[in-house]
C-alpha cells in the first residue's frame, strides 16, 4: 500500500459541525439544564427572583454546595466516590468551633489546622480504599457514620451536653482573616454602583445588596482553578487516566495512588472549607450541619456530566449543576408551588442527567 492512499482522508468520515462538537462536551447537559430551569422560573416565579438580590439569594446555597460538588466531580473523574463529605462538614465544623471558642485560637491557626485535619482524614479514606481494594462507596459510607457520630459526641463533650456550639461569631470578631471567610465582599463596588444608579438601593442610598457573599467568590475561583487543572495540566491528564482505567494509567507511568489520595484529601478539604464559611456565617455549629450534602454534591457532579464509572466529566459541569440546585431550592419559594416539590424535582433531574450522559458517552466513544 502506498503512502498516498494511506494519507488520504477517510471518505467515510463526515466532517463535524460545531453543534456535534458542542454535543461532546460533558458540561453541555448542565448548561442546558440551567437554561431550562431559568426559563421555568421566569414563567412561574415572582419577578424578584431574577433581581440582583434574588440572584444572590439562590447563588449562596449554590456556592456552598458547588464547592463540594466540584471536589466530588474531580474525585469522580478520578474513579472514586466520597460519601463522607456531608459528615465531614459537621465534623470539621465541630473541631473548628472548638478551636476558636474553647481553645481561643486565632483564625490564622484554626483554619489551617482544621483544613489539615480534614486532609489527613481524607488521606485515610484514600489509603483504606487503596489498601483493601474495596469500593470507595462502602469505605466512605462507613466514614459517613463515623464522622457524623464523632461530630455529635465531640459537640456534647466540648459544650457539656449540648449538640450545638455557640459563640463563634463573637470569637472571630475582629480577626483579620474573618472577611475572607465570612460576610460580603466587594461592598465598595456595590456602594459605587448604587450611587451611579446601576443597582437598586434603599431610600437611604444604601445598596439593597451590600456585597457579594464570600462563598460565591470562593465557588467561582475554585471552579476556575479546577477546570484549569483538569484541562491544562499534566495532573489533570493523570486524573482522567486514573479514572478511565487505573491499570492502564499505572502501566503508562501515572502515579495512580498519589492521584487518588490527593483527590480524597481535596474533597475532605472542600468540606472543611464549606464548614468554616457556614459556621462563621451562622455563628454556631451543630451535628446536623452538612446533612445529605454528600448526595447533593454527587448529584451536582452527575448533572454536570460526570460518569459514575469515572474518567469523564467536568468541573464547569458541576459548577452549573450546583447552580441548578440553588435555583430549584430557593426558586420554589418564589412560586406558588409547594416547596416540598423540591425533592421530586431533584430526583427527576438526576434521572434525566444520567440518561442524557449515557447517550453522550456512546457518542464520544463511538459505541454503537
Residue ranges that bind other proteins, judged by CB under 8 A: 1, 3, 6-10, 13, 16, 228, 232-234, 236-238, 240-241, 244-245, 247-249, 251-254, 307, 311-312, 361, 364-367
Which residues have C-beta within 8 Å of that of residue 338, sequence separation ≥ 6? 332
CB of 224 to other proteins, least distance (A): 14
Residue number with CB closer to other proteins (282 or 364): 364
Residue number with CB closer to other proteins (191 or 361): 361
Residue number with CB closer to other proteins (16 or 173): 16
CB of 116 to other proteins, least distance (A): 21
CB of 3 to other proteins, least distance (A): 7
C-alpha cell at 9: 482522508
360: closest CA among 28, 104, 116?
28
CB of 78 to other proteins, least distance (A): 13
The residue behind cell 459563640 is 167
CB of 46 to other proteins, least distance (A): 43
CB of 322 to other proteins, least distance (A): 23
CB of 278 to other proteins, least distance (A): 29
Residue number with CB closer to other proteins (218 or 312): 312
Residue number with CB closer to other proteins (132 or 252): 252
Helices 214-232, 52-77: inter-axial angle, 10-degree rounding = 30
CB of 45 to other proteins, least distance (A): 38
* Cβ atoms 93, 281 nearer than 8 A: no
Residue number with CB closer to other proteins (58 or 312): 312
Residue number with CB closer to other proteins (131 or 232): 232
For 50-58, the CB contacts below 8 A with 24+ separation are: 51/200, 52/199, 52/200, 52/208, 52/209, 53/200, 53/208, 53/209, 54/334, 56/209, 56/212, 56/213, 56/216, 57/330, 58/323, 58/326, 58/327, 58/329, 58/330, 58/331
Residue number with CB closer to other proteins (161 or 366): 366
Residues facing 165 on adjacent strands: 285
Amino acid at each position: 500500500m502506498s503512502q498516498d492512499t494511506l494519507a488520504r482522508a477517510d471518505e467515510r468520515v463526515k466532517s463535524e459541525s460545531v453543534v456535534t462538537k458542542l454535543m461532546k462536551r460533558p458540561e453541555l447537559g448542565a448548561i442546558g439544564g440551567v437554561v431550562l430551569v431559568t426559563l421555568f422560573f421566569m414563567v412561574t416565579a415572582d419577578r424578584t427572583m431574577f433581581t440582583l438580590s434574588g440572584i444572590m439569594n439562590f447563588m449562596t446555597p449554590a456556592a456552598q454546595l458547588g464547592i463540594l460538588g466540584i471536589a466530588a466531580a474531580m474525585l469522580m473523574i478520578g474513579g472514586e466516590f466520597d460519601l463522607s463529605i456531608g459528615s465531614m462538614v459537621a465534623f470539621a465544623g465541630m473541631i473548628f468551633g472548638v478551636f476558636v471558642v474553647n481553645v481561643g485560637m486565632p483564625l490564622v491557626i484554626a483554619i489551617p489546622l482544621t483544613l489539615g485535619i480534614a486532609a489527613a482524614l481524607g488521606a485515610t479514606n484514600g489509603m483504606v480504599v487503596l489498601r483493601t481494594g474495596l469500593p470507595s462507596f462502602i469505605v466512605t459510607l462507613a466514614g459517613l457514620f463515623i464522622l457524623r457520630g464523632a461530630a455529635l459526641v465531640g459537640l456534647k463533650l466540648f459544650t457539656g451536653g449540648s449538640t450545638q456550639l455557640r459563640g463563634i461569631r463573637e470569637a472571630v470578631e475582629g480577626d483579620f482573616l474573618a472577611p475572607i471567610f465570612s460576610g460580603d465582599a466587594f461592598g465598595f463596588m456595590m456602594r459605587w454602583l448604587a450611587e451611579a444608579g446601576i443597582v437598586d438601593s434603599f431610600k437611604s442610598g444604601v445598596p439593597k445588596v451590600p456585597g457579594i457573599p464570600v462563598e460565591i467568590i470562593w465557588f467561582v475561583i475554585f471552579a476556575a482553578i479546577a477546570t484549569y487543572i483538569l484541562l491544562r495540566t499534566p495532573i489533570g491528564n493523570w486524573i482522567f487516566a486514573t479514572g478511565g482505567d487505573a491499570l492502564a494509567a499505572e502501566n503508562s507511568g501515572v502515579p495512580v495512588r498519589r492521584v487518588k489520595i490527593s483527590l480524597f484529601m481535596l474533597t475532605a478539604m472542600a468540606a472543611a472549607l464549606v464548614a468554616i464559611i457556614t459556621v462563621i456565617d451562622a455563628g454556631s455549629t451543630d451535628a446536623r450541619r452538612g446533612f445529605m450534602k454528600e448526595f447533593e454534591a454527587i448529584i451536582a457532579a452527575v448533572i454536570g456530566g460526570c460518569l459514575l464509572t469515572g474518567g469523564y466529566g467536568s468541573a464547569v459541569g458541576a459548577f452549573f449543576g450546583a447552580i441548578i440546585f440553588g435555583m430549584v431550592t430557593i426558586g420554589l419559594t418564589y412560586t406558588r408551588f409547594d416547596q416540598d416539590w423540591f425533592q421530586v424535582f431533584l430526583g427527576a433531574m438526576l434521572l434525566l442527567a444520567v440518561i442524557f450522559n449515557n447517550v453522550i458517552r456512546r457518542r464520544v466513544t463511538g459505541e454503537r
